[in-house]
């Protein structure tokens, strides 16, 4: 009786080729994760390891994009600044083009609303403690553009006879100090001590801004 033919020996299975690394835009995902961490626990809660965990990647994967935590925080600051600038742009788009003082008011109110609505992100870009400003070239450039924008609005307002004084630098710095100071009072929890409830904060911010603008506005019939 003939022996059954031997089955050909199975070849050893070749290991599957490694899958290429893919996570979409990992840099963007990591920045979003870090922004979320800052919202939940403040800027000090941001770590590269935790951002990686939230992004669903290995602890070493972020270092393809960020050399260290400082680099990640610099990117986070630039993204927060981009969102802030977007808020300013949207407010100015709604303000009357021919009224520089109303545009200046819209700018200040947008600043306050964004800062109070995004306290952790405002803390990151405003305090100077959480990232390397020398490496944040986009943020520095954007800041310079915003300063120039406010200066131009005030110059236009003065030329139209809307301002009592031509001391534009003083007005500009005072206005910045006002909105920055009010935003910090809100972030640091001081407003309740002054009898301002959470429900009243935005209305109070608008009122404070209007008091300032009233003080710099030239009254009808007065001369420069």
Classify 128 in phi/psi space as left (phi over 0), alpha (psi -120 to 50) or beta.
Answer: left
CB-based contact 168:154 (threshold 8 Å): yes
What is the reported pLDDT for 223?
Answer: 43
Domain boundaries, the chain: 23-66, 79-216
Tokens in use for 132? 């390397």
CATH superfamily of 79-216: Tetracycline Repressor, domain 2 (1.10.357.10)
pLDDT > 90? residue 18: no
- For the segment 3-21, the average pLDDT, to the nearest whole number, is 45
Residue 170 C-alpha from the chain's centroid: 26
What is the reported pLDDT for 221?
Answer: 52
Mean pLDDT of the chain: 88
Residue bearing the bigger pLDDT, 5 or 181: 181
What is the reported pLDDT for 136?
Answer: 87
For the chain, give the percent of residues with pLDDT over 90: 76
Tens-digit pLDDT profile for residues 45-60: 999 999 999 999 988 8
pTM of the full predicted structure? 0.82
What is the reported pLDDT for 114?
Answer: 96
pLDDT > 60? residue 143: yes
Classify 161 in phi/psi space as left (phi over 0), alpha (psi -120 to 50) or beta.
Answer: left
- For the segment 140-158, the average pLDDT, to the nearest whole number, is 95
- For the segment 185-190, the average pLDDT, to the nearest whole number, is 94
CB-based contact 150:175 (threshold 8 Å): yes
pLDDT > 70? residue 20: no
Tens-digit pLDDT profile for residues 188-216: 999 999 999 999 999 999 999 999 999 99
| Spatial separation of the C-alpha atoms in residues 65 and 71, rounded to whole Å | 9
What is the reported pLDDT for 220?
Answer: 63
Where does residue 92 rank: exposed (0-12), middle (13-18), buried (19+ CB within 10 A)?
middle
Task: Compute φ and ψ for 150, nearest 5 degrees.
Answer: -65, -40
Is it true that domain 23-66 has CATH number 3.30.70? no
- For the segment 174-197, the average pLDDT, to the nearest whole number, is 95
């Amino acid at each position: 009786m003939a022996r059954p033919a031997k089955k050909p020996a199975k070849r050893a299975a070749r290991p599957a080729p490694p899958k290429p690394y893919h996570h979409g835009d990992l840099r963007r995902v990591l920045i979003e994760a870090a922004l979320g961490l800052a919202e939940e626990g403040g800027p000090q809660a941001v770590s590269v390891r935790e951002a990686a965990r939230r992004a669903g990647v290995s602890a070493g994967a972020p270092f393809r994009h960020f050399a260290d935590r400082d680099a990640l925080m610099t990117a986070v600051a630039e993204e927060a600044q981009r969102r802030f600038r977007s808020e300013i742009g949207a407010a100015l788009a709604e303000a009357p083009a021919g009224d520089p003082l109303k545009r200046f008011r819209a700018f200040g109110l947008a600043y306050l609303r964004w800062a109070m609505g995004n306290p952790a992100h405002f803390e990151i870009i405003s305090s100077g403690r959480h990232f390397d400003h020398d490496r944040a070239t986009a943020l520095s450039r954007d800041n310079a553009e915003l300063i120039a924008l406010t200066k131009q609005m005030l110059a236009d307002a003065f030329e139209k006879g809307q301002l009592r004084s031509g001391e534009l630098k003083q007005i500009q710095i005072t206005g910045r100090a006002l909105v920055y100071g009010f935003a910090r009072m809100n972030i640091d929890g001081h407003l309740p001590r002054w009898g301002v409830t959470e429900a009243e904060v935005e209305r109070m911010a608008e009122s404070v801004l209007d008091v300032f603008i009233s003080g710099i506005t030239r009254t009808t019939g007065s001369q420069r």
